[in-house]
Amino acid sequence: MATRSNVALVKRFARFTGEYPWTWQPGDVEDFTVSLLNRAEPASHSTLRGYHGVIRGFCAFITDARYDWPEVCQERFGAHPVQICHDWNTRHHVAEFEARPAKRALTFDEADAFFAHADLKVERILAAGKKGALGALRDAQFFKTVYAFGLRRREACMLDLADLRSNPNNPEWGSYGSLHVRHAKANKGGPPRRRTVLAVPEFAWAVEGLRQWIEEGRPKFRPGSASPVWMTERRSRLSVRHSDEKFALLRDEIGLDPKLTLHSLRHSYVTHLIEYGYPERFVQEQVGHSYASSTAVYTDVSDDYKNRILAKALARVRHPRQQGQQQ
């Protein structure tokens, strides 16, 4: 069954060509691709690949021999639909990582500056006696939670109170020791996947912030029986669009790289866990990647980290006896 977004794309393509489907030609796909690449913000490889896949699927549907459309079109219009997407005029999934090179993790200093500014914004609103302090507090803690648990945007927005879980390894955190993610990215054709993300001690400050939001901040919205962790003043669930816009606003206010996005916090989580020394397999399970290669492309370790690893390797080679005694 076609989704609304797929139907919308086919209609968009039809408007672009100005023709009916039974007159579409392979050159129309090339022209459409060129138009998407010539925008102020060119479409990414993965976006083009997705668009081509939708158009290819639609053409396969209307040219299927099990239906009468080709014959009916030929009789009525003197032309029939054909497959217009081929290997030579469409994009393919040829690499594990298709994001633009500018997409990266935040450094530790950038992350500290971002979260400090988010907290400062709450204090300034309170000091000025203006409205919006509670929303600013929610946004600040939302971003900290995304970072501290390595969440995707939608995963974070879809969290409910029931998804807050304990961690028997650290009972001091109570019901904030782990998050049960029920709306993780789905495999192709499948339902959303699920995973449990454990809080790690390096991000204990964010766990305490989450506790503060749930127990002190959120009740001021008078949520009643509503279950979302992140609510608006109207008691609706916080949207991905809102979180994207607020991240961009805070980022721009302190002059961070405009290429950084909310998803960069997830990249930062992976990178920083690796730099803290967590095994790659643990990190892979935490972020819900099916393959280690997916986790690897999220990792932008710093030069300092690489230098420490190299220093340890050189020490093992140059002073093997000392290394053996230390072990």
CA–CA separation, 166 and 163 (whole Å): 10
Q: What is the pLDDT of residues 270-304, one digit of tens each?
A: 999 988 888 888 998 998 887 666 666 566 655 56
Domain definitions of the chain by residue range: 4-89, 108-306
pTM summary value = 0.67
Q: What is the pLDDT of residues 23-70, one digit of tens each?
A: 999 999 999 999 998 888 888 877 888 899 999 999 999 999 888 889
CATH, domain range 108-306: 1.10.443.10
Q: What is the pLDDT of residues 65-116, one digit of tens each?
A: 888 889 999 999 999 999 999 988 887 654 444 455 557 889 999 999 999 9
